[in-house]
Amino acid sequence: SQQGEEDPQALSIQEGENATMNCSYKTSINNLQWYRQNSGRGLVHLILIRSNEREKHSGRLRVTLDTSKKSSSLLITASRAADTASYFCATVLDTGRRALTFGSGTRLQVQP
């Protein structure tokens, strides 16, 4: 199975509400990244959290990392309709492969 499985697969909320997405992974990691993709467009990097960090903030985004549980969460506070997108976590599965492996993503729909 893929490294970096997001949960839930889809999430629908109202504007102003918070959105939480979770990511689980199977191997030890150096860092974990979150990306956003608007429908059919390129991915945009949101935030990177290192393995020795537990929490990181960027604007309305908060990312946590629990290496003991091999999981990360992305919280978007006070969501807006413009936050509607798919969100992916990504990690390095194997440093010998020079690849960033992406999870299956969470589709977030923010209703105005």
Partner 1 sequence: EAQVTQNPRYLITVTGKKLTVTCSQNMNHEYMSWYRQDPGLGLRQIYYSMNVEVTDKGDVPEGYKVSRKEKRNFPLILESPSPNQTSLYFCASSLDWAWGLGGANVLTFGAGSRLTVL
Q: Which residues bind partner 1 (CB under 8 A)?
A: 2, 30-31, 33, 35, 40-45, 48, 50-51, 88, 92, 95, 97-105
Residues 79, 11 contacting (CB under 8 angstroms): no
Closer residue to partner 1, CB minimum distance, 69 or 97: 97
Q: Is the CA virtual torsion 89, 103, 22, 81 positive or negative?
A: positive
Tokens 């918070």, located at residue: 18
Closer residue to partner 1, CB minimum distance, 22 or 101: 101
Give whole-number Cα distances, 15 to 12, 83, 99, in Å. 10, 9, 35
| Least spacing, CB of residue 98 vs partner 1, in Å | 5
| Least spacing, CB of residue 93 vs partner 1, in Å | 10
